[in-house]
Structure 1
Amino acid sequence: MSRMWFDGDFVSEYWAFLSVIRGLCHRRRCLDRLLCAVKGRPLSEEGLDADCIKEVGKEPPLPPADESYFHGLYALLQESATCLRSKGFRVSEAPSEDVWVETYSGTSWYPWLEIMNTGGDADAALRACPQPQPMDIERKGKEWAATKG
């Protein structure tokens, strides 16, 4: 089984990386470049981020998502769709779990994307029912895997 996103080794590496970033944040020349990484934009090896990568190193890569991760995501998206419907947002029924997992892509059924693509207020939908967090997706995926083993 592949390493999961929030297994101990990955968390240790990631927190070590973040502590180095925090230590450098008082240095103005790196602060602006690192803030974009903290906000979710990956650091690039070219251009403005090159100096910071030299000092800080690259962010540890996330382990690849496996089948259990996608089953966890599907389960939480179903819960989110129920939440969104209860708040008055229109969300279609999802394909079956097996079909969704087997055919997952960037255009797969995803409640907030559907709301946005049909002219709904995606920001309001995100405030009403936030997207699942990776740690929750992984936890749900592990629960799914435990029922299969």
Structure 2
Amino acid sequence: MNAWTQAAPEAPDMTPRTITCTFGHYTDTVWTDRRKLIWESLAAILTDHRVGSKDGTCIVPATFTGTRRHKNDAARIDVVVLDSDAGFTLEEIHSALTRQGWTAVISSTHSHLTTRTLARRGSWDKFLLTAADPN
């Protein structure tokens, strides 16, 4: 094979990958606002904070087979979303992600660094039963 017919090394794919997500309000029963975004667009949405009460819009990093937001109906998940409720600071989270070499958007939520959580008694009792079950 001479230099003219030798295959060139494969060039990296520079096409922006799309990430599919579903948007809504946490009390919605019908979830149809599906969007395809490139990373930069998703990062812009995740870092555009509107300070206010918790009952704002939310983003789900998945699309669903139907219109309900339920884990059993998840059809596609393109990005991992981690929720840290263990009291780590944003700096500690940044350090851990950097050590892994991961690209990330690190942002706080409505309840970041709160010291109290209100829960319905029935939900708390159900949690305790689940936590106590070794299986």
The TM-score, its normalising length taken from structure 1, stands at: 0.25
Which structure's relative contact order is higher, taking Cα pairs within 8 Å and 6+ residues apart?
1
The TM-score, its normalising length taken from structure 2, stands at: 0.27
**Which protein shows a greater Rg?**
2
Greater per-residue helix proportion: 1
